[in-house]
Amino acid sequence: MIFLLLIIPMLIFARQEPALAMMLSLYVTLGVFLLLAVRNPGQNRSLIAFTAWSSLVHGILMGTQALLNIVGRGELVGVAVLLVIGVALIALAPARQPASHASAAALAGRSS
């Protein structure tokens, strides 16, 4: 729901803050796909990993820019949020299944 609620500020900021609207559009879309991935996290490990690592890289870049005064220090709040999201997704990501278990799970999923 949170991701879908971001559509409202995205539309409001489309003219006033086009860069913010652009970022919100990416996160709203990614959030919707993450919500779909929750149904079967083992099958969507790459999406979860992409979200985790891109959040970490984005947070580190923003943090570095804030510390070098390239962007405002207020961005550090967003940095903290991105780092928490990245670490949480990595910690909660499903373990990689061995090939024999993965194929057995896939076959079991097809028969049900």
Token digits of residue 27: 């996160």
- Average pLDDT, integer, range 74-95: 89
| Judgement on whether residues 56 and 12 belong to the same structural domain of the protein | no
Cα distances from 17 to residues 13, 35, 60, 84, in angstroms, run 5, 27, 23, 25
Distance separating alpha carbons of residues 10 and 63, to the nearest angstrom: 23
Which residue range is the domain that position 70 belongs to?
41-94
28 & 55 share domain: no
Q: How confident is the model at residue 50 (pLDDT cuts 50, 70, 90)?
A: very high
For the question of whether the overall pTM of this predicted structure is more than 0.85, the answer is: no
The answer to whether residues 9 and 21 belong to one domain is yes
| Residue 79 and residue 63 in contact, taking contact as beta carbons nearer than 8 Å | yes
Q: What average pLDDT does this structure show over 65-83?
A: 91
Whether residue 90 sits in one domain with residue 47: yes
Token couple for 2: 């949170």
In the three-class reduction of DSSP (H, G, I as helix; E, B as strand; rest coil), residue 42 is classed as helix
Co-location of 35 and 45 in the same domain: no
